[in-house]
Structure 1
Amino acid sequence: MVFQNISTNTKLYVRKGNINIEVKKKATGDRIRRSLGLEDTLSNQALALSIQNLIEKDLSINAFDASLDKYIDKCIKVTETPDDLINLTSLWHKYIEFKRKYWSPTTYANSGLVFAKRFSKLKNQDLRFPQKIQQELFENFSLDAVKRSCIQIKAAINWGLQERIISNVKWTIPNKAFEQLLKRQKEENDINPFSNQERDRIIEAFKTDCFAREKGRHSQYYFAIHFWFLTGCRTGELLGLQWQDIKAGYLTFCRVRSQTNVGEVTKNSLKQQHSRKFPINQQLSNLLVSIPKSKDYVFVNKVGKPISFSSLITCWKRVLSCLQIEYKRPYQCRHTFITDCLKTGKLSPSEVAKLVGTSPAMIYKHYLGAPENIDVPEL
């Protein structure tokens, strides 16, 4: 595994199959390197992240133990809990080790390891008292994060009971309790498409570099932004598109490229389907033929490497700010495309859903407008 280290004080790395940690010189005055005595396995990777988290916490309060024994002993002790008293972190390590052969690399990185790090931070680990675990989650995370955490904990407990790793444990917190709190409004509130005028101004700003601090800084993303507005594809589909996917009359979305907490991951399938064909109209054709050809990926930066979404976001924020347009995520390009297609009246919701790889139910629920925006026919 290659750890994506976002900390400025510590670094995890693998050497000769074992996980090591480095505490950087600027944090303590001396560079400290030590093997954690852990082989590079999934459960040990989560354990290493727990150790790193403890060290970072102590560094922030000037309570760092330079021997590192304090952190290693504390975390490794977690995995030695007797089966009849197994705690949350230990169960989760076992669960994701089992799920590894079924999960995609993206799921493993964005679910397995992310939740492992989150659960390791909890003081309440006893699965016999779920309300205490839930309360601590509420005190430290958003409501949506608590909901997702509880769903994952329940799945791990059900697996543990089935495999007879644990017994006499019952997760008593129903998912409906969270649904009542969240009111299922998050997705609806997040759909906020651009007007046609805003769309055109954004595209032009990227094309001309008019707000860039240096030439080529924004224009390197012009083709990607324009393509996004013309196809309504998902972020990973945009980043993963290669020239071999473009044929006469259509292109095929068949892979997703995304950045996770363990580095870049490419998956050769889409979110809800294996692949999706997208017809190329004249407008899209004109854009594609104007893009300089690269070796593999369609959208590359000014030095010829596949574009980075994090760098694109930086430019996106500046462009919208300079244009004095309300900030919206780049994903709103997808919502804008869907909304514009429906406005033309030339495509049914089912046809639009097929174009963008979602369900007709999602189109009807989120994109056809609230009742006040619907013209009632005279009968």
Structure 2
Amino acid sequence: MTVAKSNDFKYLSMMTMNTNYGVMYQVRLCSKLGRKTIGVGADKIQALNLALMIDEEINKQVVNGQPVEIDYLKALVKEAQEALKVQKTEKLRLVKKDDLHILWDKYVSFHTSIGVWEETYILTTIQTVGNLIKRCPFQRLEQKNQVVEWIFDDSTRSSKTSKDRFKLIVAAIDWNSKTDNIQRKWGIDYRDLLSSISIKSEKKTNTTCDDDREIDIFTVSEVYKILHALKNETYSRFPGKHYQYFKYIYFCWLTGCRPSEAVALKWENIDLIKKRIKFCEGQVNASGRIIKKKGTKTVSVRYFPINDELQALLETIPHRTGYVFLNAANKPISQKGLNGVWHTLLDAMEIRYRIPYQLRHTMISYHANNDYPIHKLAEIVGNSDKVLKEHYLKLDIERIKLPEIIKSV
């Protein structure tokens, strides 16, 4: 283990606090970053290494011109602390050549080398599954039933998502068995196990579509409670912390665009006279790296009409050049930065957690089931008629008059 020293840090300093439970450690960001603090536990060596991780992440964000989001840093620390807890509870044993994480690394290394995966896929899905495998306390191929139980026991994931994660693990094992890294029987055993896993059917409001994300929509009431809380900073500890995301979230709700499209949107692609928006770019933060892509997921260019309330929203944004949505630091909005606020907000409001992407599914679902022409809706949201009919129609949602509903914020 690398042990950091207190003088290794560029953007923060270490602090100690005497509490009833003993000495606790905190990191304090430098004055340029607002001197905010993050708790890093009671173990000095662990605290120093967590501080080093925070410092390196801040440096990465500064170099890439990204805003430094305190909520994201806190989430990073929490994830690292949880991983350390898992490590401490595991029994010490020798790593073997057919351990799951070794087989996974071979699978990923080969497929990365031949260029069959896009960079965003590697930095998101593949890295997520890789981290999951490293945390798994069951690494032996013989422990396949324990692996499945451990993956599906995580209540923060849906059953479908857990099965999708396991499906990739099975693909890695099957590939290793076909390339003689392990016996062929393991590929067969794990494929049979995967086929035996059936997911209980859920409500009709839960199906799958766009980007293989589950459709798990909000109610209109929930959407407007969220918008109201962001606008009025009902649950924000610091001025401007939540409001900076209000117009971005409101825009995503009104247009049903993908978050990557809203983040990448520039004023040059908004025509307030012709009343239309041109979606032609995407921008995502994949493991700390900003990846920009020309075109949308389904087409190179998509136009969206600007109605009165969307026009009114856009006219409240003071600047008219560069990125449309900027955060409190006057930098392009960060979906990663929003995630921490989103968690905090939904928890405080006691609204069941769903990712911000579900605003897109919610907008499409309500319009599809409230007499908006399907072919026109498909065109403006960047999906096909077939997808809308198969995944969005006849969901168990209330019928509403959308033009009245979306004027109320």
- Report the TM-score when normalising by structure 2: 0.60
Is it true that 1:277 corresponds to 2:293 in the alignment?
no
Structure 1 gap ranges (5+): 1-7, 10-23, 34-51, 64-69, 375-379
Q: Kindly tell me: are residues 223 and 94 of structure 1, through their superposed partners in 2, closer, same or farther at Cα, counting changes over 3 Å?
A: same
Q: C-alpha offsets along residues 48-102 of structure 1, whole Å, 9 cap, x if unaligned?
A: xxxx899924885799xxxxxx89xx5xx54xx3xxxx33222210111122233
Conserved? CA contact 2:282–2:295, under 8 Å = yes
Q: Kindly tell me: are residues 132 and 27 of structure 1, through their superposed partners in 2, closer, same or farther at Cα, counting changes over 3 Å?
A: closer
Letter matched to residue 182 of structure 1:
K
Q: Secondary structure at the residue paired with 1:181?
A: coil
Match runs of 1:101-112 below 5 Å: 101-112=115-126
Is it true that 1:151 corresponds to 2:163 in the alignment?
no
Deviation at 1:219, TM superposition (A): 3.1
Deviation at 1:224, TM superposition (A): 1.0
Deviation at 1:291, TM superposition (A): 1.6
Q: C-alpha offsets along residues 286-332 of structure 1, whole Å, 9 cap, x if unaligned?
A: 4324322276321111220122335435555676788x684564444
Match runs of 1:97-136 below 5 Å: 97-100=109-112, 101-127=115-141, 130-131=144-145, 133-136=147-150
Q: Secondary structure at the residue paired with 2:247?
A: helix
Once residues 214 and 53 of structure 1 are traced to their aligned partners in structure 2, the CA distance between those partners, rounded to angstroms, is: 26
Once residues 216 and 41 of structure 2 are traced to their aligned partners in structure 1, the CA distance between those partners, rounded to angstroms, is: 46
Conserved? CA contact 1:105–1:265, under 8 Å = no
Conserved? CA contact 1:198–1:325, under 8 Å = no
Is it true that 1:250 corresponds to 2:258 in the alignment?
no
Once residues 336 and 249 of structure 2 are traced to their aligned partners in structure 1, the CA distance between those partners, rounded to angstroms, is: 14
* Identical counterparts, % of pairs: 24
Q: Kindly tell me: are residues 289 and 102 of structure 1, through their superposed partners in 2, closer, same or farther at Cα, counting changes over 3 Å?
A: farther
Q: Kindly tell me: are residues 269 and 103 of structure 1, through their superposed partners in 2, closer, same or farther at Cα, counting changes over 3 Å?
A: farther
Which residue matches 1:353?
378
Once residues 57 and 127 of structure 1 are traced to their aligned partners in structure 2, the CA distance between those partners, rounded to angstroms, is: 23
Letter matched to residue 128 of structure 2:
V
Q: Secondary structure at the residue paired with 1:157?
A: helix
Once residues 138 and 122 of structure 1 are traced to their aligned partners in structure 2, the CA distance between those partners, rounded to angstroms, is: 12
Is it true that 1:56 corresponds to 2:70 in the alignment?
no
- Report the TM-score when normalising by structure 1: 0.64
Q: C-alpha offsets along residues 124-148 of structure 1, whole Å, 9 cap, x if unaligned?
A: 4444664454355456676445422
Match runs of 1:228-247 below 5 Å: 228-247=252-271
Once residues 122 and 336 of structure 2 are traced to their aligned partners in structure 1, the CA distance between those partners, rounded to angstroms, is: 21
Once residues 253 and 108 of structure 1 are traced to their aligned partners in structure 2, the CA distance between those partners, rounded to angstroms, is: 25
Q: How many corresponding residue pairs? A: 314
Q: Kindly tell me: are residues 124 and 221 of structure 1, through their superposed partners in 2, closer, same or farther at Cα, counting changes over 3 Å?
A: closer
Match runs of 1:10-21 below 5 Å: none
Q: C-alpha offsets along residues 177-234 of structure 1, whole Å, 9 cap, x if unaligned?
A: 33x3332658349533433x66556545544556655543333223212211220112
Q: Secondary structure at the residue paired with 1:233?
A: coil
Q: Kindly tell me: are residues 263 and 28 of structure 1, through their superposed partners in 2, closer, same or farther at Cα, counting changes over 3 Å?
A: same
Which residue matches 1:173?
192
Which residue matches 1:301?
327
Q: Secondary structure at the residue paired with 1:173?
A: helix
Once residues 335 and 54 of structure 1 are traced to their aligned partners in structure 2, the CA distance between those partners, rounded to angstroms, is: 31
Letter matched to residue 177 of structure 1:
S
Q: C-alpha offsets along residues 237-296 of structure 1, whole Å, 9 cap, x if unaligned?
A: 222323343355433333433344x21432415774243412232423343243222763
Match of 1:183 among 201, 205, 210: 201
> Which has the higher mean CA deviation after the structures are superposed, 132-141 or 297-306?
132-141
Deviation at 1:352, TM superposition (A): 1.4
Conserved? CA contact 2:277–2:306, under 8 Å = no
Structure 2 gap ranges (5+): 1-23, 26-39, 51-79, 208-213, 400-409
Once residues 105 and 267 of structure 1 are traced to their aligned partners in structure 2, the CA distance between those partners, rounded to angstroms, is: 11
Deviation at 1:349, TM superposition (A): 2.0
Once residues 202 and 145 of structure 1 are traced to their aligned partners in structure 2, the CA distance between those partners, rounded to angstroms, is: 25
Is it true that 1:89 corresponds to 2:101 in the alignment?
yes
Once residues 136 and 207 of structure 1 are traced to their aligned partners in structure 2, the CA distance between those partners, rounded to angstroms, is: 40
Once residues 270 and 322 of structure 2 are traced to their aligned partners in structure 1, the CA distance between those partners, rounded to angstroms, is: 11
Q: Secondary structure at the residue paired with 1:94?
A: helix
Deviation at 1:163, TM superposition (A): 3.7
Letter matched to residue 268 of structure 1:
K
Q: Kindly tell me: are residues 117 and 312 of structure 1, through their superposed partners in 2, closer, same or farther at Cα, counting changes over 3 Å?
A: closer
Which residue matches 1:342?
368
Letter matched to residue 337 of structure 1:
M
Which residue matches 1:368?
393
Which residue matches 1:15?
none
Conserved? CA contact 2:103–2:176, under 8 Å = yes
Q: Secondary structure at the residue paired with 1:279?
A: strand
Q: Kindly tell me: are residues 172 and 370 of structure 1, through their superposed partners in 2, closer, same or farther at Cα, counting changes over 3 Å?
A: closer
Once residues 321 and 130 of structure 1 are traced to their aligned partners in structure 2, the CA distance between those partners, rounded to angstroms, is: 34
Q: Secondary structure at the residue paired with 2:329?
A: coil
